[in-house]
Copies of this chain bind each other. A is one copy, B any other.
Amino acid sequence: MSADYFSDFSTVRYEGPDSDSDFAYRFYDKDREVLGKRMEDHLRFAVCMWHTFSWPGSDVFGAGTFDRPWLNGPNDAAAAKAKREAGLSFVEKLDLPFYCFHDVDVMADADEIGAFRDSFAEAVDHLEELQEQHGRTLLWGTANLFSHPRYMAGAATNPDPEVYAWAASQVRDALEATHRLGGANYVLWGGREGYDTILNTEIGTEMDNFGRFLSLVVDYKHKIGFEGTILIEPKPHEPTKHQYDFDTQSVFAFLKRYGLENEVKVNIEANHATLAGHAFEHELAMARALGILGSVDANRGDPQNGWDTDQFPNSVEEWTLAMLEFLRADGFTTGGFNFDAKVRRQSIDAADLFHGHIGGVDTIARGLLRAAKLIEDGRLEDFRSQRYAGWDGELGRMIHADGTGLADIADHAVSNKLAPERRSGRQEWCENLLNRA
């Protein structure tokens, strides 16, 4: 069914900035060393099975526009198999190492819990073969706990414990599958873990149930010997009015509250950062400061639209800023850059899937190269260090010394008649440096 869907396309290769091809990498040169590491090892790119293979091109105002063979009929066993084959074959054609999936993305539809588990099990068996065959592996797996009507009021935060139990079953199976398929991480995105109206909602109860769920998942991970990282993906809202995992700081609050800050990290999505009112690089910098940077969903939003447009990244400038924070954080351990991105609804050709991914890969690769250049140049980092140099001086050390009290510091100011000299923050100069990279 899908065997031939990408047959017109060759494997995408690095051809350098001057290539004339629409189907080549200009900046992503996987074996090139950047600050002592191969680009492929830095970036750990992954293709997603949902937007790219399961979405028909529909939106709230209109039906699907794409002509994908595996989506043209019911999502039965044959269609799901064709989709999996198309998926892994596409990842190989892009020569990227990883893919990601929700349980429902890779399996035939099934409503009853036993049938659901069987269908998923069949998919996992097949994926194991396909990974081998195509030489690709799993960046992360997850369970879809938001699309089925049963989850209309949330999964781990649902008022009904039976829904919670269903979710537990899906997560157990998805976690085990991820483990078996060699997945590097397991993600929880709380699609509907929030509320639509506070009038019918008890935030405290819901957060406690959610904290309990996450603790159980962490315990189970250890029990089965899964060594990947558990990740939470923050998002402020949509489809809910408000989601508890609003942003990185909110997730940290949640993790600390339930004692999980050393067990769970964040999967930061660029689009979700901006929906939360933050720059993408802010979320990375905050995750670095809090020690919970795990992985990244590399899709952007539209700066003028207030919903999750999930577009392929195309701003090298935004990604230079992001990769500066990424490199300052020493990059990923188990994480990677996943394209949780969809081609536009009008981009109906198979070629468009290539354009989207190739553009995304090169945008990020070029951001990495520019950030590395800035770090090697050193001026920006030096300026920043100098700005905080006083904290290594006498007064800075006194302030942090055991036994120092507020009055000691205040007395120091008074008795030395401190009148601190103002120093320029040099924002425009910093921005100019960035543009020179």
Other-chain contact of A304, B111, B164, B207, B277 (Cβ < 8 Å): B277
- Interface hit among A1-9, A41-49, A89-97, A347-355: A347-355
A130 on the interface (CB 8 Å rule)? no
52-88 of chain A: CB within 8 A of chain B: 57, 59-65
Known: A112-B419, A166-B418, A198-B285. A407 touches B220 (CB 8 A): yes
Q: Does the CB pair A346–B199 fall under 8 Å?
A: no
Known: A220-B405, A424-B349. A413 touches B198 (CB 8 A): no
Q: What is the number of residues of chain A that contact chain B, defined by CB distance less than 8 Å?
A: 152
Other-chain contact of A348, B282, B343, B424 (Cβ < 8 Å): B424
Other-chain contact of A427, B165, B196, B407, B426 (Cβ < 8 Å): B196
Nearest B residue to A400, CB-CB: B212
A35 on the interface (CB 8 Å rule)? no
Q: Does the CB pair B432–A355 fall under 8 Å?
A: yes
The CA of A289 and the CA of B420, in the complex, are separated in Å by 42
Q: Please, which residues of chain B bring their CB within 8 A of the CB of A161?
A: 390-391, 393, 395-396, 399
Q: Is the interface of A mostly helix, strand, loop or mixed?
A: helix
Apart from A242-B278, A314-B434, 14 more pairs, CB < 8 Å:
A26-B436, A61-B238, A62-B191, A112-B417, A168-B410, A171-B406, A197-B431, A199-B431, A200-B430, A205-B391, A217-B406, A359-B431, A359-B432, A363-B435
A317 on the interface (CB 8 Å rule)? yes
A412 on the interface (CB 8 Å rule)? yes
Q: Does the CB pair B304–A307 fall under 8 Å?
A: no
Q: Does the CB pair B216–A405 fall under 8 Å?
A: yes
Closest 4 CB pairs of A and B: A306-B306, A346-B425, A253-B253, A165-B413
A10 on the interface (CB 8 Å rule)? no
